[in-house]
Structure 1
Amino acid sequence: MTAAIRDIAAPDKAPFHALWQGYLDFYGVTLTPEVTARTWARLLDPASPLRGRVAAKGDALLGFALSLTHPSSWVAGEDCYLEDLFVAPQARGQGLGRALIDDLITQARARGCHRLYWHTRHDNAQARKLYDSYVQTDDHIRYRLTL
């Protein structure tokens, strides 16, 4: 499937929200409408560190990658964190996840980032197969404290 990878844009609101809901459903997460609205606003704000790229075919969005860059105490420059990656179920297995990651690698290198990292659930076998084709897990365990 040929899809263009591009920056998310204001006209993408409805199709992005549909994909976003699919992503939340996959992870069994419920967010308030305010959080989703704030995420959308950040994606469109050029001053926000949160960036969104989408895989699009015509007006249809087939997937997205949301990332941000941040300073690191381990390298002289910045790291890029792939926070969210999602491909619509009907578009999976066609290379879109790989295309979104490859695009993010190019984008992060262009911004001078030194590393790209992400995480996923241990039981997300389909995603892990893709991720393992880039790099093996570094055996870090994530802790998240809600404040």
Structure 2
Amino acid sequence: MTVTITPLTEREFFDWYGVFAEYATNAGVDATDEQVMRVWTALQKPGAYAAVAHDESGSVVGFVHAVPFERLLQGDGGLQLEDLFVAPAHRGQGVATALLEHVRGAAESRGHEFLRWAAHDDDAAVRALKEKFADAAGGWVLQSVPVA
């Protein structure tokens, strides 16, 4: 399958929304209109980056969302990959790899040193992507710690 990756534009909102709703459902989240608009608004903020994957017919079949972060001690930063999704019918065809390559290129063009990505290791496809893209992370592991 040939896939084209482009930065997300305002005119693609409804196409993106359809795939985003599928992503939320697959993640077990009931995405309300308010939540969807919160995500959309966050993607419009300076420094944020979002791209969509189009199949041969021009349909949106996946997306990637990233937001900037800073490392205070080092005085640098990068992009934090927040969401990466490919519609189930298009998985196993290189779409996720193309999306990761694209957002990595966007990070590089912005002068960032790296792209940070936190993902569950219980998915074989995610593990394969991490192995393909991640080099030595210096032993750092990003963890989520509940505060309430």
TM-score by length of 2: 0.85
**SS of residue matched to 2:79:** strand
* Deviations 1:104-141 (CA, angstroms, capped at 9, x unpaired): 11110110111211111231222221221122675625
> Could you tell me how far 1:85 is from its partner in structure 2?
0.2
Give how far 1:13 is off: 1.6
Matched, 1:115 2:114: yes
**Range with greater deviation from structure 2 (90-99 or 11-20):** 11-20
- Checking the alignment, whether the CA contact within 8 Å between 1:80 and 1:116 is kept in structure 2 is yes
Is the counterpart of residue 48 in structure 1 residue 46 in structure 2? yes
Identity in percent: 26
**Matched residues in 2 for 1:130 and 1:123: separation?**
13
Segments of structure 2 that go 5 or more residues without pairing to the other structure are: none
Q: How many residues align?
A: 145
Q: What amino acid is the match of 1:140?
A: V
**Matching residue of 2:146:** 145
- Alignment RMSD (CA, Å): 2.1
Aligned to 1:31: 31
Q: How does 1:14-29 map to 2 (within 5 A)?
A: 14-29=14-29
Q: CA shift at 1:102, angstroms?
A: 0.6
Deviates more, 1:61-70 or 1:32-41: 32-41
- Scaled by the length of structure 1, the TM-score of the pair is 0.86
* Secondary structure, aligned partner of 1:5: strand
Deviation at 1:59, TM superposition (A): 3.2
The whole-number CA distance in structure 2 between the counterparts of 1:13 and 1:146 is: 33
